[in-house]
Amino acid sequence: MRGISINALLGIAIISVQLMRVSAMPFVHQQNVPDILHPSPHLKFFPGENLIERRDAGSNCQNLSVNDLKQLPGFHKLVQKAKDKHGNGKYTIKTNDKHFPGYPALICVHGPAEVTYKSGTTKSHYCQPTTADAQGTLTGTNGTVAVTVLQGVQTTAQYTISSAASIGLSDMFQTQVGFPAITDLFDFFTTSVTITNTQTQSFMTQHTAQTTLTLTMASVEGDKCEAKEVVQQCTIPSTGKIQLVAEGTAWWEYESRTGDKDNKDAGKHYAWMLDINELPIHERSGYINFVGNMQVVTKGNYNGVCK
C-alpha cells in the first residue's frame, strides 16, 4: 500500500462500485410481449408490426376471429379445458396474435362440396328431348356431303345460399363442387367456385364436355342434305353443402401469471395456448347450405339424310 494516497484508494473504490453497477443492470424485456409457456423451444417473438395478414379474398382459408371461435359447437370444451388446467383467473382470448405469427387460427374449406339431387332423379324426370337442325357447315362434292357438329353436354348451375355458416360470416371462400353422374345424361364432374358466406348470396358455375364430330352422307346431284340432332334440355333442382372447419391455435391471456395444473414444472405465465384441432371435427365445423337448379343441354344422336 506504500506510495498510494487515501484519495487514490477512494477513486479506485468509486470506479469499482460504478463497474459493479453497470454489470448488475437488469435485462430490459421487450414491451407488449406476453410471458408464455413456450409451446416450442424455437418460438420467436415479433413485437411491432402485425405479421399475420388477412387471407386473400377467395382463398380456401380465412383467419378465424375470436367471435368465430366462440361460435364453434365445441367452444365450451376449450373454456372448460382452460379452467381445468389454468384456474379461474380473468383472461382475454386472442387468435392470430401478432406476436406469434407461427401459430395461426384459420377457417378452411373441408373437402369438395357435393351436390345432391332428389332421390330417383333421372333424365326422364327433368329433360325434354327435341329435334333440331345440326349446327354445322355442309361441305363436299363427288357424291358425299360432310357436316361438322358438336356432341356432348353443357351445364350451367345457379345457386343461392339458403343458410350461411356461423363461422366466417361474409368471408369469401374458394372451393370445388362435385356433381354426381346422372345415367345417360352426364358423368361425375367437378367445378371451381368462389362463394361469399352470406345468406341469399348467389353463385354460378359452368361445365362443358363436348367433342367435335364430322358426319359424312352419301348424296347424288340435286339431293338436298339435312343433318338432324336430338337436343335434350333439362332443369334439375339440387342442393349442396360446404363444410368449413376451424383449425390452429387460440391463446388464453390472463391478467396475472398462472400455472398448468397438469405440469407444475412449467412455471407460471401470462399466456397459454390451446390447440383447436383437439376438438372433434364436427365440434369445430360450420356449414354453408345452398339450393338452386342445373340447366343441362345435351347434343347427340345425329342423323344425316339426303333426298
> Which mean pLDDT values do the consecutive 10-residue runs of the chain (307 residues) have?
46 40 32 41 31 54 98 98 95 93 96 88 82 61 72 95 97 96 91 96 95 78 74 93 98 95 91 96 98 92 74
pLDDT score, position 134? 64
Q: How far is CA 238 from CA 246, 292, 293, in A?
A: 27, 6, 6
pLDDT score, position 141? 57
Tell me how far apart the alpha carbons of residues 142 and 168 are, in angstroms, rounded to a whole number: 67
pLDDT score, position 92? 96
Residues 73, 286: contact at Cβ < 8 Å? no
pLDDT score, position 57? 52
pLDDT score, position 140? 57
Tell me how far apart the alpha carbons of residues 233 and 295 are, in angstroms, rounded to a whole number: 7
Angle at the Cα of 97 from the Cα atoms of 94 and 99, rounded to 5 degrees: 140
pLDDT score, position 56? 53
Domain boundaries, the chain: 120-165+194-241+290-306
- Grid cell, residue 306, equals 339426303
Specify the DSSP class assigned to residue 29: P
Count of residues making up the chain: 307
pLDDT score, position 139? 58
Quickly tell me which residue has 398462472 as its cell. Answer: 258
Tell me how far apart the alpha carbons of residues 176 and 167 are, in angstroms, rounded to a whole number: 19
